Amino acid sequence: MAMTGELPPLEPLMRSNAKRTYSVFASCPDAGMKEEEKSARMRLAVKIEDEYKHYKQLPTALLAQQAPVGPARPTEQRKMITAGPGETAVPAPMADAGRMIAKIDTTPEQKTSSFSNASKLSQALTLHKTTRTIKPTFHPQWKLVRVISGHLGWVRAVAVEPGNKWFATGAGDRVVKIWDLASGELKLSLTGHISTVRGLAVSPRHPYLFSCGEDKMVKCWDLEANKVIRHYHGHLSGVYALDLHPTLDVLVTSGRDASARVWDMRTKAQIHVLSGHTGTVADVKCQESDPQVITGSMDSTIRLWDLAAGKTMVTLTHHKKSVRALAVHPTEYSFASGSAGGNNIKKWKCPEGAFVFNFSGHNAIVNTLSVNSEGVFFSGGDNGTLTLWDYNTGTPFQHLDDIPQPGSLEAEAGVFCSTFDVTGTRLITGGADKTIKIYAEQSQ
């Protein structure tokens, strides 16, 4: 049969067919099929425009925070880094795509470096890395001056009266005892708790002593009549700590029900339940300015609270293990926290709770912290180790061991509570050997 006309050339047909095949099987391309550069550039340009147009330019607020200069983009003349012998080279299509994107999209704009040469940059980096060592303040050594016996259980709480004449202690024998600070003599025993007394606070503006214990009770004692005048009911389990607000008639308690509760001191009304912790709230501290309430919990977090709203302002998650102790500096706008585990004592700046530094060197479960206005910072461990630090620099200047009283087990050397007196020259601690120990600065 005779052919009426010539067949069309096969080359264009094969090319168009290959293009269709490429678009269908693009996920597993064949090395023989190569996309035309023009169409590839167009495809990339469309993709960049569609997917990244909203992110090419930063918002005005963020642009204002950007430094005026930035790192310069590599010039076009630079050679590509190729793989060494025996290594895999960068696939050609990927390199081509990178070059295409550089041509299509020129943002961010190229800016020259603020450093005139490389040596200036290295000098600046060296200066940045230089550690500035601050010389710690000199503090005299402390020594044990008095051991007071009288409790029949672990001494778990201690508080000094604002007049600096007497101090109160609470223990596992369920008794609150009042002692003369100068002589160490027992002045009074207050009974009423039916379980271990865990927290004490003396009001600077009222003749009141507040106590809390593992019996879920929070009591207000009238020190003129020496009896309980108010109970604050609401905790669902043992109450482990309490503190008084320095300027408001407010009491804050915390305990095993994973909450801190804010009470009106006079009406006994519960103002707030500060909830959010997932473990026992082991310590609570109040101060005049924000954060007015700070809590440390066994869930290894510290929370700073907005007292007016009754909500968390900041949650600090730096500790690895349970936070058992807090100490607020009497004059500096900062506080410290103690826990178990490595880097277990940390200093924080108020009001935002910015981490300042670690007090490194007291490797024990820290049960108690205290700080005085002179910058002497005390930490007491569960194993009977005591460390005194310079609060400003975090330098330890004295290590002591709590010696159990004769007749006690060696394991009864733990320190559970501590406080400085009003003058800051005496340190009172309570421990597992049922004694109260008073330390004082050695005279020069």
Of 104-118, 147-161, 358-372, give the lowest mean pLDDT range: 104-118
Indicate the Cα dihedral angle 207, 211, 217, 221, nearest 10°: -20
At 37-67, the pLDDT tens digits run: 888 888 888 888 887 777 677 777 777 766 5
At 235-288, the pLDDT tens digits run: 999 999 999 999 999 999 999 999 999 999 999 999 999 999 999 999 999 999
Res 130 pLDDT > 50:
yes
| Alpha-carbon span 304 to 337, nearest angstrom | 12
Of 13-22, 226-235, 300-309, 392-401, give the lowest mean pLDDT range: 13-22
Residue 305 DSSP code: E
Q: What are phi and psi of 273, to 5 degrees?
A: -110, 110
At 70-114, the pLDDT tens digits run: 555 555 555 555 545 444 455 555 667 777 777 777 666 655 555
Domain range list for the chain: 142-441
* Mean pLDDT in residue range 391-405: 91
Q: What are phi and psi of 17, to 5 degrees?
A: -65, -40
pLDDT of residue 181: 94
* Mean pLDDT in residue range 368-374: 94
| Alpha-carbon span 164 to 374, nearest angstrom | 17
pLDDT of residue 87: 47
Q: What is the pTM of this model?
A: 0.70
User: Treating both helix axes as pointing N-terminal to C-terminal, what angle do 92-104 and 37-52 enclose, rounded to 10 degrees?
Assistant: 60
Q: Strand 208-213 vs strand 218-222: parallel, antiparallel, or unpaired?
A: antiparallel
| Cα dihedral sign, 2-6-8-14 | positive
Res 116 pLDDT > 70:
no
| Alpha-carbon span 91 to 87, nearest angstrom | 12
| Rama region for 114: left / alpha / beta (φ>0; ψ in -120 to 50; rest) | alpha
Q: What are phi and psi of 302, to 5 degrees?
A: -120, 135
Mean pLDDT score of the chain, rounded to an integer? Answer: 85
Res 348 pLDDT > 70:
yes
Check whether the bond before 351 is cis (ω within 30° of 0).
yes
* Mean pLDDT in residue range 149-172: 95
What percent of the chain has a predicted confidence (pLDDT) above 90?
63
pLDDT of residue 314: 94
User: Under CATH, which number does the domain 142-441 receive?
Assistant: 2.130.10.10
